[in-house]
Chain A
Amino acid sequence: MTFLSHLITGLSLGSIYAIIALGYTMVYGIAKMLNFAHGDVIMVGAYVCFFAVTGFALPPLVGILLAIILCTILGVVIERLAYKPLRQAASLTVLITAIGVSYFLQNGAQILWSASPKSFPTNFFNIGESKGITLFDGGLTISYVAIVTILLCLVIMAALTFFTGKTKMGKAMRACSENKAASQLMGINVNSTISMTFAIGSALAAVAGVLMCSAYPTLMPTTGALPGIKAFTAAVFGGIGSIPGAFIGGILLGLIETFTKAYITTNLSDAVVFAVLIIVLLVKPAGLLGKYVPEKV
């Protein structure tokens, strides 16, 4: 019974990582950059939702929508102002710029909303007074947050697969990630495609932020940093640039972390997660689902 409960915790944590990792991997795929500010967009999304609901007494759903809209705008603005001018620059330059953006968001949040932790409402997904479904005569409780998180992750994953595989915009995205110059010659608007990718990634970050804070309700300006790094790890784990890879990587990461905490060691769970990443990379250098592209001579 405890195993089942850990499994569900792991799946729901993994789903959060997966949603963040999807944003990471899409941006990497198209812009070939590690957007280290992605984690901080999560934090902004959570704050927006928090203030909408507690400050302005808006219903949770409106709060979530508001977070999604603002994060989408934020993501696109960041791309336009900070990353677009550097499209021809060395990848390290863009990385440092992303770090600058990350500092900016964290410190901006600290000035606007102070460094002291806020406790995020945890009742968004409750039905009436009930926090979750109780099974086996109270032996197992599955919180609604966990159910919503897992289901939402599956829906997002399916939607993204459909989007990149079947729609015109999604195909343009894949074309741009293969070869921007050729895509432009084929009449694809590269700039708007990249903006679209950042918009989707940031919207997903907002969703992840609300889900994460509903499950782990401490909200601070640095809340997004560690999940951001872990989701990045998940994306690499699954094969950076690959959408199913990010999904699998995220889920596995959540499961490994939760089971390590439950059965091996609480304090060393991060070390175990990262050690597994290193081992996977040594065995499969391109990640679980990534493809290895040899250099042309």
Chain B
Amino acid sequence: MKKKSMSPASRSAFINYGIVIVAFVVVQILLGQGMVSNSLQSLLVPVCCYIVMAVSLNLTVGVLGELSLGHAGFMSLGAFSGIIVSFALQDIIAFGPLRLVISIVVGAIIGGIGGVLVGVPVLRLRGDYLAIVTLAFGEIIKNVIMVLYVGLDENGLHFATNQSNLNMSYEGVAIIKGPMGAVGVTRLATFTAGFILVLLTLIIVQNLVNSRSGRAILALRDNRIAAESVGISVTKYKLMAFVTSAALAGAAGALFGLNYSSTMATRFDFNTSILILVFVVLGGLGSIRGSMIAAALLYILPEMLRNFAISEYRMLIYAVILILVMLFTNNPQLKDLISKVIPKGKKKGGEANG
């Protein structure tokens, strides 16, 4: 084993770490040179969040092979719990980065708990139930947070379904105001924090996949009945993948929530879940690197297109490209056509860009 060179899986994992580190360093240098526009700078933290979302969703959809249509719901849980924690600790811990770390950890835990609540009853069912239930779950979370009021005063946290019921003292501050969402949030998130979270996510997901547990999860995806026949507990490993994925989404949510001074629950709706799913599918199911690259490119490109004359058409173009990529990468005849027109080496790059 020691003599043998690195396995293909670990080599690929280390290339991914390399890509992330190089990207971070390059961006830092560009930032130092003042070569990054303000609008692009504002995208740095969200891009990190979406990369974490895509990589973690890939764990559910690509590695476990279960469709989730409510990944943004876990992000939402993480975002709002992170915001509440960061508020609550404001007077206790003055050091911002530490508060950020605690918020992210709490976000991950709450996201994970959400994952357990959805996963335990649903994952034992066979079929596409996870898709429907996660969709429903995401809508429920959005709906509940939209009527939730949370306030903080010297007596602690107050929860209610409208502002007057919060019963706070004169000093009290409302953190979450129902449909308006969280307001007056101290923006703790930084690009460095985003970079570290991406790196941690990669370590967790890749090490999990390349381990005994990961093999069990992959086995369930490839052939559930055969996996059971060799003694793999279906529920345990489905839950492991799903909860890990939800917890990472919660962490990404906390970072995302603490990147804006105000956040509404509608930010984490069905469309967001779908957006992340699109990243995962276009990046390639099960391909961590694909998810990373697709998330970064597909998040930044439409935002950049805002500044051009075609901005009105950008989402229309996005839709057309999405359909065409699906057709050209999955229809046998069109696939043949492509491989005739474009030599093989270039095709891969084309797919990743699309």
User: Taking the complex as a whole, does A directly touch B, i.e. does some CB pair lie under 8 Å apart?
Assistant: yes
Judged by a CB distance under 8 angstroms, whether A282 is at the interface is yes
Check if B132 sits within 8 Å of A277, measured CB to CB: yes
Given contacts A92-B61, A96-B326, A281-B133, contact A107 B140 (CB under 8 A): no
**Interface residues in A73-125 (C-beta closer than 8 Å to B):** 82, 85-86, 88-90, 92-93, 95-97, 99-104, 106-108, 110-111
Which B287-339 residues sit within 8 Å CB-CB of chain A? 312-313, 315-316, 318-320, 322-323, 326-327, 330-334
A267 within 8 A of B: yes
Shortest beta-carbon distance, B246 to chain A, in Å? 16
Q: Which of A148-156, A178-186, A268-276 contacts B (4 or more CB under 8 A)?
A: A268-276
Decide yes or no whether A295 CB sits under 8 A from chain B.
yes
From A34, A86, A107, A277, contact of B319 by CB (8 A): A107
Tell yes or no: A229 within 8 A of B by CB.
yes
Determine if A82 and B274 form an interchain contact, defined as CB atoms under 8 angstroms apart.
Answer: no
- The secondary structure that dominates the A interface is helix
Closest to A101 in B: B323
Task: Say which residue of A82, A99, A268 sits within 8 Å of B143 (CB atoms).
Answer: A268
Contact A86 B326 (CB under 8 A): yes
Total interface residues on A, using CB and 8 Å?
41
Q: Please, what's the 1-or-0 string for B127-171, where 1 marks a CB less than 8 Å from any CB in chain A?
A: 101011101110110011011000000000000010000000000
Min distance, Cβ B141 to any Cβ of chain A, angstroms: 8
Is B121 interfacial (CB 8 A cutoff)?
A: yes
The answer to whether A62 has its CB under 8 Å from any CB of chain B is no
Q: Is the CB of A99 within 8 A of B313?
A: no
What is the CB-to-nearest-CB distance from B137 to chain A, in angstroms, rounded to a whole number?
7
Binds A, one of B98-106, B232-240, B277-285: B277-285
Q: Is the C-beta of B125 less than 8 angstroms from some C-beta in chain A?
A: yes
Query: For residue A229, which residues in chain B have a CB less than 8 angstroms away from its CB?
Result: 135, 139, 270
Interface residue A135 (Cβ < 8 Å from any Cβ of B): no
Separation of A99 and B318 alpha carbons in the complex (Å): 11
Most buried by A among B61, B121, B132: B132
Given A100-B323, A233-B136, is A271 in contact with B143 using a C-beta cutoff of 8 Å? yes
- Tell me, yes or no, whether A236 is within 8 Å of chain B by CB: yes
> Which of A97, A111, A270 is B316 in contact with, Cβ under 8 Å?
A111
Is the beta-carbon distance between A285 and B125 smaller than 8 angstroms? yes
Contacting pair B323 A82 (CB below 8 A): yes
Q: List 27 A-B contacts (CB under 8 A).
A: A82-B327, A86-B330, A89-B326, A89-B330, A92-B281, A96-B326, A97-B322, A97-B326, A99-B277, A102-B319, A104-B319, A104-B323, A107-B316, A107-B319, A111-B313, A233-B132, A233-B136, A236-B132, A267-B147, A267-B161, A274-B136, A277-B132, A277-B133, A278-B136, A281-B133, A282-B121, A282-B122
Interface residues of B (CB under 8 A from A): 61, 67, 121-122, 125-127, 129, 131-133, 135-137, 139-140, 143-144, 146-147, 161, 225, 270, 274, 277-278, 281-282, 285, 312-313, 315-316, 318-320, 322-323, 326-327, 330-334
Please give the residue numbers on chain A whose beta carbons come within 8 Å of chain B beta carbons, in ascending order.
34, 82, 85-86, 88-90, 92-93, 95-97, 99-104, 106-108, 110-111, 225, 229, 233, 236, 265, 267-268, 270-271, 274-275, 277-278, 281-282, 285, 295, 297
